[in-house]
Amino acid sequence: MATASVAFKSREDHRKQLELEEARKAGLAPAEVDEDGKEINPHIPQYMSSAPWYLNAERPSLKHQRKWKSDPNYTKSWYDRGAKTFQAEKFRKGACENCGALTHDKKACVERPRKLGAKWTGKHIAPDEKIETFELDYDGKRDRWNGYDAASYKHVIQRYEAKDEARSKYLKDEQLKKLEEKNNNQNKEDGVSDDEDNEDNLKVDEAKVDESKQMDFAKVEKRVRTTGGGSTGTVRNLRIREDTAKYLLNLDVNSAHYDPKTRSMREDPLPDMDPNEKFYAGDNQNRVSGQALEFKQLNVHAWEAFDKGHDVHMQAAPSQAELLYKNFKINKEKLKSHTKDKIMEKYGNAAAGEVLPRELLLGQSEREVEYDRAGRVIKGQEMALPKSKYEEDVYINNHTTVWGSWWKDNQWGYKCCHQTVRNSYCTGAAGIEAAEASADLMKANVARKEATEEAPAAAEEKRIATWGSEVPDDLVLDQKRLSEALQKEDERKREERDERKRKYNVKWNDEVTPEDMEAFRMKRVHHDDPMKDFLN
């Protein structure tokens, strides 16, 4: 019989183990039981994979290799999400300053920050959260499905089942409608053909299309990363073989370039062709249309917003960038409409007013008018001149004409009364007669004054000396003596400028002749003379 070889620390431990076994055999000590409550046979080692037949073992056991007994300290329950416990009516000390809950502080609060927290208002106190602590074992900490409720996925299944039911009901209704139309429009002559057509329409299903008709339209090809812009993955060939290849649309060698490696033709091969008849307009057409253009505008908006200081990044937070762009477009439309409303409120809306006449709207009419060489109307009616948006033919102060309809003596006025004052009151024909009489009277007075005035006496010519002093009438100057007096005056001035030229024996004569006086006046320097610096 196989026995277990157990190593003991001392002989005393071995002796105690033997005494315990003897007591169990005698019924004096309780027997050892397993997790199922069955008594453990001490003669069967716990590390054996298969026990002998005579030991009456029901199953093999390797319990010594792992911790097979579950620890009662560990639990498999999970948190009660969203559960609330107590809701206070006033703020408590130590609670969250924002919402008033006692289970967390202001830093860990997940509610919206209030303008005035519950600490200061004492209103709308949030209930306390249910705080639970679990001690999980090794497997419980790493179980990603721990706490998952399978019943929460039931609403997803119900939604898809409801869609399937609605789809099947819609198809049945369509079939019934078509059958009713067929019965109502059934014709004896074309009855067979109508039945076949309706049956074909009811049996049309994309999944049942013959593969020979599809050709290689749905063929999936592998595409590797290339220098021409390819990417790793598979691509579906969406070109039907009956269509003309893009590189055969224009055989001119100078037309749009075709890259055979990437099968791309960026430019338009037929730029002069009618756009309505084009089947292919180049690969760049896809970049400036549809969602590609919207995505490009979104990127540009994100760049401009980042340059202006906003924390926007298209790759890091695309949802945020898209939301900001959406709000930007809404605000832009609001601003545009607001500006339009302000302009219309200030200047009015001529488009919403009275309908303009055809002559003013189109500038033409179908009326036929004939004129002669002088410009007179021979046949038809002369077309009225269109008026502008400004006020015209507005008569004030009883005038029958507008200001500026009359011109006389470099002055504008009114033609109806010949008034030259802008805001004057109209006097009519009487005013014109009074103005003419006043003008005639003024002309008569001027003529009479000119006739009565005597001719002015002729001014006497006076003999004036060289520098403006008057000379007596009986004065007679000798030209010879005058020339000698001028020479003496020049010598006297030279002596005054240079003392060395004055002679020692000076003869002084105090007699002054009229010629000497005239020479002095002629040689005298006048400070008011602008040419004084050029004399001598």
Is residue 159 over pLDDT 60? Answer: yes
What is the structure's pLDDT at 470? 58
3-class secondary-structure state, position 435: helix
DSSP string, 179-223: HHHHHHS--STTHHHHHHHHHHHHH--GGGS-HHHHTTTT-EEEE
Q: What's the predicted TM-score (pTM) here?
A: 0.25
Maximum Cα interatomic distance, the chain, rounded to a whole number of Å: 193
Do 484 and 477 meet the contact criterion of CB atoms below 8 Å apart? no
3-class secondary-structure state, position 387: coil
Chain-centroid distance, C-alpha 534? 79
Q: What is the mean pLDDT of residues 44-60?
A: 55
Is residue 50 over pLDDT 60? Answer: no
What is the structure's pLDDT at 459? 54
DSSP conformation class of 264: B
Q: Distance between CA 99 and CA 102 in Å, rounded?
A: 9
Report pLDDT digits (tens) over 416-454: 988 888 888 898 888 888 888 888 888 888 888 888 876
In whole numbers, what is the pLDDT of the chain averaged over residues? 76
Q: What is the mean pLDDT of residues 460-484?
A: 65
Q: What residues contact residue 410 under an 8 Å CB cut-off, 6+ apart?
A: none
